[in-house]
Structure 1
Amino acid sequence: MADVHDRATRSRTMARVKARDTSPELALRRALHRLGLRYRLHGAAAGGALPGRPDLVFAGRRAAVFVHGCFWHRHAGCPRASTPASRLDYWLPKFARNQARDQAAQAALRAAGWRVAVVWECALTRARIDATARALAAWLRADAPPTLELPPPAAATAPNGGPEPGTGSGAGSDVEPGAAPPASRRQS
């Protein structure tokens, strides 16, 4: 499908996209604050900024949280991660650079002994924000695993916040998408 806007309008629109204090990030921050969790912002930690400048830093728990937009960071299986039809020669390398930068930052954090969580924009809809915040809080308070992705990779979501038709939750039919599975069903 061709872009519905001319090149100048699309350029102005994309130039206004923020990197910090986005709506999904603010929603997650509010939900975690309601749960009593406190954090530092944008990679701030004792000793300087962390690799990749995580959106939320829980220094005492040595945990870093990235809030990723599904479009910009290419959330696999998510309908929000659509690829523009025009200027593929620009967009495909741009998306590849974003993903490579994300992977490098996460690897550097893990190598430095930090736990890393990625929370995708589609997990922060009004219908899912509380479950996502509770799952993240449980992960933060536990000692393992060293990484977390919400929703889990197999749990692609539809734009309305529910599971993508035909995908299920990826963890079993009775588990809320984005929520941690019961202890009896966790994988080691």
Structure 2
Amino acid sequence: MAQVKSTDTAPEMVVRRLLHSLGYRYRLHSKTLPGKPDLVFAGRKKVIFIHGCFWHGHDCKRGARIPSTRQDYWLAKVGRNKDRDARNVSSLEQAGWSVLTVWECELKDRVALSEKLTQFLGGPSSFGLPRPASSGRSS
């Protein structure tokens, strides 16, 4: 388990690249927020967690899989992860943040994922984007 990364994972990088291509800008892993969300949109007061289905006990096929050895250990570990995730989401929502969880299995359908992210975040920020050219004279 020492080789299991907590930041810059493959699913996280997929979501980050997609959001960046859609025009969204964000901060990474804010240590001041409960659970250190993967993506933080401070101006919108929204955060996104990107969870692996197995590690966080998603109800999909991959998340429901239990290793054949040390089942008691793995069930307890995933259960603790789920409890911690629920506490973090609750703390963030009580502080006025909107929270979205993106599951690893949702990365397969990029169009649906893009729509889900855009619906959660609203329109992309205009910061850093070129301004439209003015057509009139300045007075």
TM bracket, shorter-chain basis: 0.7 to 0.9
Q: How many residues are paired up?
A: 122
Match in the other structure for 1:80:
62
Moved over 2 A (4+): none
Whether the aligned pair in 2 keeps the contact of 1:40 and 1:58 (CA below 8 Å) is yes
In 2: Cα distance, 1:113 partner to 1:130 partner? 29
In 2: Cα distance, 1:91 partner to 1:135 partner? 31
Higher RCO structure, 1 or 2 (CA under 8 Å, sep 6+): 2
Structure 1 position 64 matched with structure 2 position 51: no
Match in the other structure for 2:24:
37
Match in the other structure for 1:54:
37
Question: Matched residue of 1:61: which SS?
Answer: coil
Which structure has the greater CA radius of gyration? 2
- C-alpha displacement of 1:123: 0.7
Structure 2: gaps spanning 5 or more residues: 124-139
Match in the other structure for 1:17:
4
Identity %: 52
1:1-188 matched pairs, under 5 angstroms: 14-43=1-30, 49-76=32-59, 78-81=60-63, 82-125=65-108, 128-141=109-122
Q: TM-score, normalised by structure 2?
A: 0.83
Q: TM-score, normalised by structure 1?
A: 0.62
Aligned-CA RMSD value: 1.3
Amino acid at match of 2:62: R
